[in-house]
Amino acid sequence: MSGWDNGSKGRSVPSGRLSRLGQFGRLAGGIAGGMLAEGARRLADGQRPRVGDMLLTPGNLVRVADRLSHLRGAAMKLGQMISLDAGDTLPPELSEIMARLRAEADPMPRVQLERVLTAEWGREWRIRFERFDDRPIAAASIGQVHRARTLDGRDLAIKVQYPGVRGSIDADVDNVATLLRVSGLLPPQLDITALLAEAKAQLHEETDYRREGAEMEAYGRLLDGSDAFIVPTVAADFTTDNVLAMSFIEGVPIETTAGRSQEELNRIAARLIGLTLDELFRFGRMQTDPNFANFRYQPETGRIVLLDFGAVRPVTAETSEAYRRLLAAGLSGDRAAVKRAAVEAGFLGEAAVQRHADLVDRIIDLIVTEASRAGPFDFADRRLVPIIREHATVMASDRATWHIPPTDTLFVQRKVSGMALLAARLEARVDVRSMVSAYL
């Protein structure tokens, strides 16, 4: 058992409603102070400051990242989703700051961990283990993971949910939405009611550890016999509403490239892209959280370890068919069909197509031209990114055309975008065109 020092990085998770509300209050106050300071600085330099320039400063983003990391739970999860979905569209300096939310959270202090596990397993829970490491091997938005060995010799990974997370979901989501509204980042005419309701529903599902265990087992059956992937098995005798116990599987961070050949990197990316296509077109279920930490790699076997099944959700036939039409149009090179399919799928709003027809056509031209090339797609070649970012920024500045895609599409696209970002991190080259064609 680890002799973890309570004075280490651990920060107690605020579990009460008032204490969490106070954290949001301090965050709002800190942002306001940062805006005032930035505004004064710009005025002193003879500039006329805009609200957006004063709000989106590195100092304010650090405040947001740090406070959401402290809160964990729904607040941090939403921040992770925003930072990952932004992908390459954020300037590099802001991407680096927002990446803090995708890094590990501070773990609970040992006394808080002891209190949680005593409530779940009883006062004498330690005698059930040959070894239980108090220092977590991972700490994320909803829970932290510990390694343990049972008396009967099983190596387990024990995921422990932070106290108060489940009960704070609705209030946290509403508080984050209020911050976005008050800050002016969201235009008042944009109705996000349905999106907030879906975010709350998914987060409630992610805190249901018995449900996640069942999804893990179901996903394991889908991949039974696979030589490409491995899924942990549930240890039911240690699993409760707030603790998920599973077999511990060795693996290294999947995004590391040191010492790996180009062929190996290509194979890793191709397998993950293939799995995403299977989820979309064959399984009818998708693990929609593409956080890199949810994928580990075994260099000795070549297998990819899949973790965290709390965000598994069904893919409707309508969503699958919408993607099929969009991809088929893209591979055919029919630009008009791409635009039509993008609107039908909800990627593009009618207002944006009408008001920014030229920009939309230019973006589609870039994508179709790239999709029409035979052979492997080089994910390391990012030359198109700044061009598309520039066009998208112009469109995004016209808030009257802002549009929220259907929630099913949002979650699927989050996974698709996440896998593209991971393939870019691996600098992989994959014949995506041939892979997609096989499903069409």
Catalytic: 152? no
Answer yes or no: are the C-beta atoms of 165 and 74 closer than 8 Å: yes
Secondary structure class of 138 (helix, strand, coil)? strand
Question: Position 284: which residue type?
Answer: G
CA–CA distance, 156 with 217 (Å, rounded to integer): 16
Q: CB burial class (10 A; 0-12, 13-18, 19+) of residue 252? A: exposed
**C-alpha dist (Å) from residue 144 to 9, 17, 230, 244:** 13, 21, 21, 10
Secondary structure class of 157 (helix, strand, coil)? strand
CA–CA distance, 423 with 11 (Å, rounded to integer): 34
- Please report the DSSP string for 250-309 in residue order: --EETT--TT--HHHHHHHHHHHHHHHHHIIIIISEEE----GGGEEEETTTTEEEE---
Given the residues 289, 334, 365, 398, select the one marked as catalytic: 289
Cβ-based neighbours of 176, under 8 Å, separated by 6 or more: 74, 75, 78, 79
Active site residues: 289
